[in-house]
Amino acid sequence: MLNAILRITGAAAVRISTYSMTEDPVRYLVNSMGTGMITELKVITDKRFKGQQAAAHQLASANFSVTLTDVHAKVMVVKNDDWNVVVIGSANFTRNKRRETGIVMESPLAAAFHWKWINDLCHE
């Protein structure tokens, strides 16, 4: 989903809240930062991420801001000068064969709301 959004928006800053992440999605994030498509990245995940996905956690924390907290929310915000995209859904940043659902919206108000609470948790 993030790849499709970035193809539309162009380079953007990203905030992510997810319960868990696995290595492939983390590598995608790292590569997207390397190419400049993700200009800034902050991620919050559940505290269990570090123990349940140790390799993914190590790779993520070596390359971008990762905050461990009590979280189950799956939210992504993609922002640049022209776009304010918010994705709210059921999917984590993992490879999963289960059906997932979500809502994608372009909304400065929703983007500002989710951007703020994610940033606030990153600074606790």
**pLDDT per residue as tens digits for the range 11-21:** 999 999 999 99
Indicate the pTM of the whole model. Answer: 0.93
Split at pLDDT 50, 70, 90, the class of 95 is confident
Question: Per-domain residue ranges for the chain?
Answer: 2-122
C-alpha span between 75 and 2 (Å, rounded):
11
CB 23 within 8 A of CB 11: no
pLDDT in tens, 38-92: 999 999 999 998 888 899 999 999 999 999 999 999 999 999 999 999 999 988 7
Whether residue 4 contacts residue 75, with contact meaning beta carbons closer than 8 Å, is answered with no
Amino acid, res. 64: F
**What fold, for 2-122?**
Endonuclease; Chain A (3.30.870)
